[in-house]
């Protein structure tokens, strides 16, 4: 997974994350944790794509509409930050990372 300085995603808090999901009807919530983590609890209406499956993650993400808004989260915000940077590097323009992850959401 190549990351460069073109990563223009924004780290956001829980309140901002919720606000975007309610105000932007084109937003997509991506849970980038493992399937097991996802099954143990997730944010409503999120799509699970494990960022640690590098090639699989990248090929699935390339199929998404780059004009939509993407809200990413993982357990603590680290994996989702890497995934957010990757989306930006692939040309996605509206990318947000839940800065403290699902741990802070619960």
Domain count, the chain: 1
* Assigned domain for 53 exists: yes
- Tens of pLDDT, residues 12-40: 999 999 999 999 998 999 999 999 999 99
- In the chain, which residues have pLDDT < 50? 1-5
Nearest to 10 by CA among 89, 76, 70: 70
Domain with 63 in it: what CATH number?
A: 3.40.250.10
Please tell me the predicted confidence (pLDDT) of residue 6. 52
5 belongs to a structural domain: no
Query: pTM for the whole thing?
Result: 0.91
Residue 54 lies in a domain: yes
Range of the domain at 44: 11-105
- Whether the CB-CB separation of 45 and 29 falls below 8 Å is answered with yes
pLDDT at position 54 is: 86
3 domain-assigned: no
Structural domain contains residue 25: yes
Residue 106 has a pLDDT of 75
Return the pLDDT at 7: 66
């Amino acid at each position: 997974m190549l990351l460069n300085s073109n990563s223009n995603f924004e780290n956001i808090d829980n309140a901002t994350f919720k606000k975007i999901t309610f105000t932007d009807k084109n937003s997509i919530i991506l849970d980038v944790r493992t399937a097991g983590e996802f099954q143990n609890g997730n944010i409503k209406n999120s799509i699970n794509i494990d960022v640690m499956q590098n090639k699989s993650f990248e090929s699935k993400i390339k199929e998404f509409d780059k004009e939509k808004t993407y809200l990413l989260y993982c357990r603590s915000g680290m994996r989702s930050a890497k995934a957010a940077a990757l989306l930006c590097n692939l040309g996605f323009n509206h990318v947000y990372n839940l800065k403290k992850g699902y741990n802070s959401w619960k």
